[in-house]
């Protein structure tokens, strides 16, 4: 069994850390918003800082919202870097900038430690069900050491390349997810406005070439109007900002990604930053002056 640190215990981090604890690992916990008592009751050890976590653990995992939060967790006062000694492994499972990830990795590796960026896809459902997709960037040797922990949290686990490759893959994932949400929203809105039952349309499409995980899960959310996160719109906005800024830097046009971001921006303007990202359909409904489920 390993000594594992886990920093960031929100919607995703709490169930991920729980899987490690339940597998018998000694897990040291820290979160700015306090360590959930349920994790301590399950056997986790609450720490006062990221520094204390790094001093206690051999492998330190961070799972926080955005690039500045990772920078603070690693290099801020009483952060992880202050507690590291040579030979330890830092694993960032947040979704952040690929460019800054490479910079973080260089700083950690200069201390004689290994660094893996390993963002995830699958949302709260995947975190609770230990079925996350994990996209890793780092050395094969470090990946092999951490993989047994990944297998407790996810199913589809891939070493994509060197540091930064995991985050690049996650940005690509978020482009695909956003565009699929937009497509499903348009299709169900069109069907409903035509006077056809959107639930039956979804059922029919699930047996054809249009079938997807987004149609299955988020299509149902759109029909049932269940927009509690899940994965918040403000987090998907952050990910698409990474996509669009990175695309500008390398001279690539992402026109449909930009459209999806504008629809998320419209939802945010309606007070929906905290809505699940399936609620992008609400922006489309505003444009149509019609809501899925409304009688024609």
How many other CB atoms sit within 10 Å of the CB of residue 66?
Answer: 17
Largest CA distance in the chain: 66
Token pair of 52 as six digits: 């204390």
The active-site residue, picked from 45, 88, 145, 170, is 170
Return the CA Rg of the chain.
20
**Separation of alpha carbons 99 and 278, rounded Å:** 28
102 is catalytic: no
Selection from 236, 94, 253 nearest residue 176 by Cα: 236
* CB burial of residue 194 (10 Å; 0-12, 13-18, 19+): exposed
Cβ 50 vs Cβ 30: under 8 Å: yes
Phi and psi, residue 253, nearest 5° = -95, 130
Q: Which of 20, 38, 44, 22 is nearest to 153 (CA)?
A: 20
Q: How far apart are CA 191 and CA 175, in angstroms?
A: 24
Residues 146, 91: contact at Cβ < 8 Å?
yes
Tokens read off for 111: 């201390």
Give the active site residues.
170
């Amino acid at each position: 069994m390993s000594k594992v640190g886990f920093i960031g215990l929100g919607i995703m981090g709490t169930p991920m850390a729980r899987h490690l604890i339940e597998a018998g690992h000694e897990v040291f916990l820290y979160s700015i918003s306090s360590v959930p008592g349920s994790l301590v009751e399950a056997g986790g050890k609450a720490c006062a800082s990221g520094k204390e976590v790094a001093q206690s653990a051999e492998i330190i995992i961070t799972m926080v919202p955005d690039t500045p939060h990772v920078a603070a967790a690693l290099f801020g006062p009483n952060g992880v870097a202050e507690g590291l000694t040579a030979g330890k492994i830092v694993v960032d499972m947040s979704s952040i900038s690929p460019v800054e990830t490479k910079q973080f990795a260089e700083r950690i590796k200069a201390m004689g430690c290994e660094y893996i960026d390993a963002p995830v896809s699958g949302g709260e459902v995947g975190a609770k069900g230990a079925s996350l997709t994990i996209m890793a960037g780092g050395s094969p040797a470090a990946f092999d050491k951490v993989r047994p922990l990944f297998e407790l949290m996810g199913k589809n686990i891939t070493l994509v390349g060197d540091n930064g490759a995991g985050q690049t893959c996650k940005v690509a994932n978020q482009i695909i997810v956003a565009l699929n949400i937009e497509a499903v929203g348009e299709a169900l809105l069109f069907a409903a406005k035509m006077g056809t039952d959107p639930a039956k349309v979804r059922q029919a499409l699930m047996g054809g070439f249009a079938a997807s995980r987004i149609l299955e899960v988020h299509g149902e959310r759109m029909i049932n109007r269940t927009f509690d996160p899940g994965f918040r719109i403000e987090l998907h906005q952050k990910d698409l900002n990474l996509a669009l800024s990175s695309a500008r830097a390398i001279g690539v046009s992402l026109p449909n990604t930009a459209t999806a971001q504008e629809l998320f921006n419209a939802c945010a303007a309606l007070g929906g930053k905290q809505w699940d990202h399936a609620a992008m359909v609400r922006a489309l409904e505003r444009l149509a002056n019609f809501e899925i489920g409304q009688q024609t």
